[in-house]
Structure 1
Amino acid sequence: MLVVNRFRAGADPAGLQADLERVHALLAEQRGYVDGWLGRNVDDPDLWVLTTRWEHVGAYRRALSSYDLKLHGVPVLSRAIDEPGAYEVVEPGGVLNVADARVT
């Protein structure tokens, strides 16, 4: 599972970078974390991305419920651009998630 969170740095790019590095370190401590990285757009340097990979969606959701992430991570992650950010990795010939309602 892949999670992509994009951010606008605004007037404080160094502050955003520090915040995202801290959040990434907190995420990396969680069970189910595979890897991740922080990036800055080459055409629009105000645009940043925090990308992480997880064993499955449940691992990511559990990670967000940890105390340290609720305290230090969620306030930063809530500043992300409002767009869907969780993706399934598509393998050749793999069965994809069905686009049906998840709650009945």
Structure 2
Amino acid sequence: MIVVNRFRAGPGFDRELQPAIDILGAKPGCLGIELGLNLDDPELWVLVSRWENVGSYRRALGGFESKSVVVPLLSRAIDEPTAYASPEEVGENRPRGD
């Protein structure tokens, strides 16, 4: 499973994200985390994390350390869907509530 979080922030945002990256990267099921800065827009950042499954990602957001450091930073992300998986894993993709 892949999680893509985009942020609009100024220079140095990578330093703000580093504690969250460290915490998430140490969680069971985390397969890797990458941080990127947009080539055309210097205020557009992306945080991409790979997880064994959706459960490992959701569990990583629990606990005191994640709730006090990671969740507040993720709440600053651009409001859009963030979780992706292979089409075979997703199956028929229907919007929630249908």
Q: Same fold by TM-score, threshold 0.5 exceeded?
A: yes
Q: Where does the alignment leave 5 or more consecutive residues of structure 1 unmatched?
A: none
What amino acid is the match of 1:97?
G
- Say whether residues 1:2 and 2:12 are aligned partners: no
Question: 3-state DSSP class of the match of 1:80?
Answer: coil
* Residue 93 (structure 2) aligns with: 99
Does the Cα contact within 8 Å between 1:5 and 1:51 map onto a contact in 2? yes
Q: CA 1:96–1:29 in 2, change beyond 3 Å: closer, same or farther?
A: same
Separation (CA, whole Å) in 1 of partners of 2:89 and 2:55 = 18
Map 1:51-66 onto structure 2 (within 5 A).
51-66=48-63
SS at match of 2:67: helix
> Structure 1 residues 24 and 99 mapped into 2: Cα distance closer, same or farther (>3 Å)?
same
Please report the RMSD computed on the Cα atoms of aligned residues, expressed in angstroms.
1.9
Q: 2:75 aligns with which of 68, 78, 90?
A: 78
Secondary structure of 1:38 counterpart: strand
Q: Deviations over 1:69-91 (max 9, x none)?
A: 1011111110000000000034x
Q: Is the 8 A contact 1:21 1:38 kept in 2?
A: no
Q: State the Cα distance separating 1:102 from its structure 2 match.
A: 6.2
Structure 2 unmatched ranges of 5 or more: none
Change (3 A) 1:98 1:41: same
Aligned equivalents of 1:98, 1:20: Cα separation in 2: 34
> CA separation of 1:101/1:39 partners in 2, compared to 1, >3 Å: closer, same or farther?
closer
Residue 95 (structure 1) shift: 5.1
